[in-house]
């Protein structure tokens, strides 16, 4: 693994029931859900009628996971994604897994260069946390983008962070029994390639695929999502839109994602154990699954799938 400048994130996961995952109590290695919304969170800018402005219980942070390793003298923490909500998410992480360096994480794993997945890196700079040598795991194009463009390059020159350049299919070993393996997925690549992650814990493993254009595009490349699910214990999958009619007046072909309705139809032939692995995440502010009282949530859980919620913690 080439090293250029620093951030790192790991994911951990455990077992879950067909309807809702059980909250783990101080697992040695666990995965904590820090955010479930699409890049811009909920409520989203320019949507003044969203009831979430006035009701904090309806607000959701951009999608992020944390891997916590409580083994040893010091707890280690990694983030998946550095979102625009990172300061709130790091505070939640500090409550769940306290450390003597509350502004520090042992690493950050980035999937790609869309705003909800890397823009929070700025909070580790000198204007905010003034972090020291946080390891940032990024694919080659993503690493080049950070190194060659400000303000991200300043994080590197001031040693707030350094880059660990990942390669497709090559595992990054983080601790005993804990590793993260990136793999390329088809999604809009304006500034970088797009990755998903397989996260291995001592006992369980998880997939993290917050953004993908289409399961069928992956089929064409010789990769079946069902095979990936079969190889893992948990699968956090793109649920940006519940259905294709959420953005009237917008050309949905320019923002392709597998809808939850389509994913449930595709996965309908899976047995109950395989369906139970799926945790839908990365929901747009228009997605009714973000509403705790929406009937669509019942539709999803009755079909045997899960909906990721902030604060879920599962053992790996």
- The whole-number pLDDT of residue 21 equals 43
Nearest partner of 208 among 71, 43, 35, judged by Cα: 35
* pLDDT over 90 (residue 253): no
- The whole-number pLDDT of residue 11 equals 36
- The whole-number pLDDT of residue 4 equals 38
CA distances to 49, 93, 193, 245, 288 from 285, rounded to whole Å, are 12, 23, 25, 13, 8
The tens digit of pLDDT for each residue in 136-184 reads 999 999 999 999 998 999 999 999 999 999 999 999 999 999 999 999 9
pLDDT (mean) for 284-304: 95
CB within 8 Å of 309: residues ≥ 6 apart: 33, 36
* pLDDT over 50 (residue 6): no
Q: Count CA atoms within 13 Å of residue 285 on its CB side.
A: 20
> How deeply is 249 buried, as exposed, middle or buried, from its count of CB atoms within 10 A (0-12, 13-18, 19+)?
exposed
Domain 2-315 architecture: 4-Layer Sandwich (3.60)
- The whole-number pLDDT of residue 165 equals 96
- The whole-number pLDDT of residue 283 equals 95
The tens digit of pLDDT for each residue in 25-78 reads 579 999 999 999 999 999 999 999 999 999 999 999 999 999 999 998 899 999
- The whole-number pLDDT of residue 133 equals 93
* pLDDT over 80 (residue 257): no
pLDDT (mean) for 192-219: 92
pLDDT-based confidence at 222, cuts 50/70/90?
A: confident
Lowest-pLDDT range, 150-159, 182-191, 217-226, 240-249?
240-249
pTM of the model: 0.88
* pLDDT over 80 (residue 241): yes
- The whole-number pLDDT of residue 191 equals 80
- The whole-number pLDDT of residue 25 equals 54
């Amino acid at each position: 693994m080439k090293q250029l400048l620093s951030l790192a994130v790991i994911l951990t996961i455990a077992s879950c029931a067909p309807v809702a995952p059980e909250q783990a109590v101080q697992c040695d290695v666990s995965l904590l859900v820090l955010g479930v919304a699409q890049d811009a969170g909920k409520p989203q800018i320019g949507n003044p009628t969203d009831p979430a402005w006035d009701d904090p219980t309806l607000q959701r942070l951009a999608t992020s996971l944390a891997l916590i390793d409580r083994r040893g003298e010091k707890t280690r923490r990694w983030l998946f994604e550095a979102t625009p909500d990172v300061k709130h998410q790091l505070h939640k992480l500090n409550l769940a897994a306290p450390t003597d360096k509350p502004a520090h994480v042992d690493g950050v794993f980035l999937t790609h260069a869309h705003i909800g997945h890397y823009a929070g890196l700025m909070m580790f700079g000198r204007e905010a946390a003034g972090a020291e040598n946080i390891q940032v795991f990024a694919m080659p194009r993503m690493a080049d983008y950070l190194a060659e463009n400000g303000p991200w390059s300043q994080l590197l020159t001031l040693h707030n962070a350094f880059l660990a350049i990942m390669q497709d299919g090559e595992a990054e070993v983080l601790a005993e029994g804990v590793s993260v393996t990136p793999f390329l997925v088809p999604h809009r690549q304006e500034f970088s390639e797009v990755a998903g992650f397989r996260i291995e814990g001592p006992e369980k493993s998880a997939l993290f695929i917050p953004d993908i254009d289409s399961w069928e595009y992956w089929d064409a490349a010789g990769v079946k999502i069902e095979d990936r699910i079969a190889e893992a214990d948990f699968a956090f999958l793109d649920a940006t839109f519940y259905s294709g009619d959420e953005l009237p007046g917008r050309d949905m072909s320019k923002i392709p994602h597998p809808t939850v309705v389509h994913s449930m139809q595709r996965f309908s032939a899976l047995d109950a154990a395989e369906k139970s692995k799926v945790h839908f995440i990365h929901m747009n502010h228009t997605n009714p699954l973000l509403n705790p009282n929406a009937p669509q949530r019942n539709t999803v859980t009755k079909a045997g799938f899960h909906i990721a919620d902030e604060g879920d913690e599962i053992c790996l």
